[in-house]
Amino acid sequence: MKLKKILVFLHLWVGLLSGAVLSVVGITGSLYVFQPELTGLFYSKYYQTQNTGPVYPAEQVVQKAQAQFQEPIATLNFPTRELENYQIKLQKKKEWLFYDLHTGAFLGEMKQRRGVFEGILELHRQLTMGETGSLITGTCALLMALVLLSTGLYLWFPRKKRQLKDGLSYKKNAGPKRRVYDLHNVTGFYVSLPLFIIAITGVNFAFPEETQTAINQITATTERMPAGKKLKSTFVANAQGMDAQQALQRMATYYPNHAKRSLTMPKDSAGTVLFTFVEDPTVGAGPEIRPMVYLDQYTGKEMYHFNPETSPRGARILRNWFIPIHFGEVGGYVTRVLWFILGFLPAFLWVSGFVIWRNKKRKNKSATLRPV
């Protein structure tokens, strides 16, 4: 009985305190599930081409953008994932530039590359609070995975076989308080496993190094995948770093059977050149096979090369599986629709849990005030 009281206390107060954050994270996650299609729909002027024919070369798009704004590029995103045109970010210009896939024509600019979904993603990951918000969301996700769901399952678990049916079904003819209890209890049981998967994969965004350490321990992997931000080029005085045209030429020597996804140029004299690819340029099912290569901007030497097939097991699990699992793409439209629905359930469980707590508090207060 003492253990049960402790678990009830943990489940109650961890749920009440973290529930607001988990509600925001869950709802924004639901809204983001169909981001590629909705971004293309809401901002079709920039993302949907009205032309056909051969693809306009990326090298010429880069030349056009740099000549038009007299500024070197920082990032080039190729047309992938339902977004049909080139997206370019220049080093000192805040807005993203859009160029037609087939004609190379300049289509316009937006401050946020994904429009409103950029703000939704920031709210989902960081609560618009930067690193502090990321720490909060990551901690709450961890609490849901390791505390709320485990204590909830323990408290749900029937102590007698004949009570199992009650724990798996809603009582239609029960009173209002009992219906709220059943909605919280039974729903929590049925969604516990998918919510655990979503939460544990989401922790990676806030605590990537700790997540990789855990995955490496589980998979007996010794080699770590380096953090890209920590990789630095070997600075050479008076040396000219690689430009975008040279980077694109080098990029063309990798993964001929994959679609180009992005090219990121160095931000400063110590930065690296990064390019990424994707095996399936659409929003498909299964793992996301996304190779990436970091180069020294002066020597062109590979500083890190993630190969989705040959890299260490721990890195492959993180890179290939965590993102499609977290956003529901792993099973195609079936899991995406399911994930969309699941995103609203933390808010539902938080509100129903609060109602249960309030009803019990009122009942205890009423019992205390009742005359003998």
Residue 234 domain-assigned? Answer: no
Residue 233 domain-assigned? Answer: no
Residue 194 domain-assigned? Answer: yes
Residue 303 domain-assigned? Answer: no
Number of structural domains, the chain?
Answer: 1
Q: Which domain holds residue 356?
A: 2-22+127-204+341-365
CA 13 centroid distance within chain: 27
Residue 18 domain-assigned? Answer: yes
Q: What is the 3-state secondary structure (H, E, C) of the chain?
A: CHHHHHHHHHHHHHHHHHHHHHHHHHHHHHHHCCHHHHHHHHCHHHHCCCCCCCCCCHHHHHHHHHHHHCCCEEEEECCECCECCEEEEECCCCCEEEECCCCCCEEEEECCCCCHHHHHHHHHHHCCCHHHHHHHHHHHHHHHHHHHHHHHHHHHCCCCHHHHHHHHCCCCCCCHHHHHHHHHHHHHHHHHHHHHHHHHHHHHHHCHHHHHHHHHHHHCCCCCCCCHHHCCCCCCCCCCCCCHHHHHHHHCCCCCCCEEEEEECCCCCCCEEEEEEECCCCCCCCCCCCCEEEEECCCCCEEEEECCCCCCHHHHHHHHHHHHHHCCHHHCHHHHHHHHHHCCHHHHHHHHHHHHHHHHHHHHHHHHHCCC
pTM value is 0.89
Residue 72 domain-assigned? Answer: no
Q: Quick one: pLDDT at residue 368? A: 59
Residue 323 domain-assigned? Answer: no
Per-residue pLDDT of the chain (372 residues; tens, 9 = 90+): 688 889 989 999 999 999 999 999 999 999 999 999 999 999 999 999 999 999 999 999 999 999 999 999 999 999 998 899 999 999 999 999 999 999 999 999 999 999 999 999 999 999 999 999 999 999 999 999 999 999 999 888 877 666 667 677 877 777 888 888 888 989 999 999 999 999 999 999 999 999 999 999 999 999 988 888 889 998 877 788 899 999 999 999 999 999 999 999 999 989 999 999 999 999 889 999 999 999 999 999 999 999 999 999 999 999 999 999 999 999 999 999 999 999 999 999 999 999 988 888 877 666 655 555
For the CA atoms of 345, 35, 281, 229, the dihedral, rounded to the nearest 10 degrees, stands at -90
- Strands 96-99 and 259-264, by their bridges, are unpaired
Q: Quick one: pLDDT at residue 160? A: 66
Residue 349 domain-assigned? Answer: yes
Q: Quick one: pLDDT at residue 2? A: 84
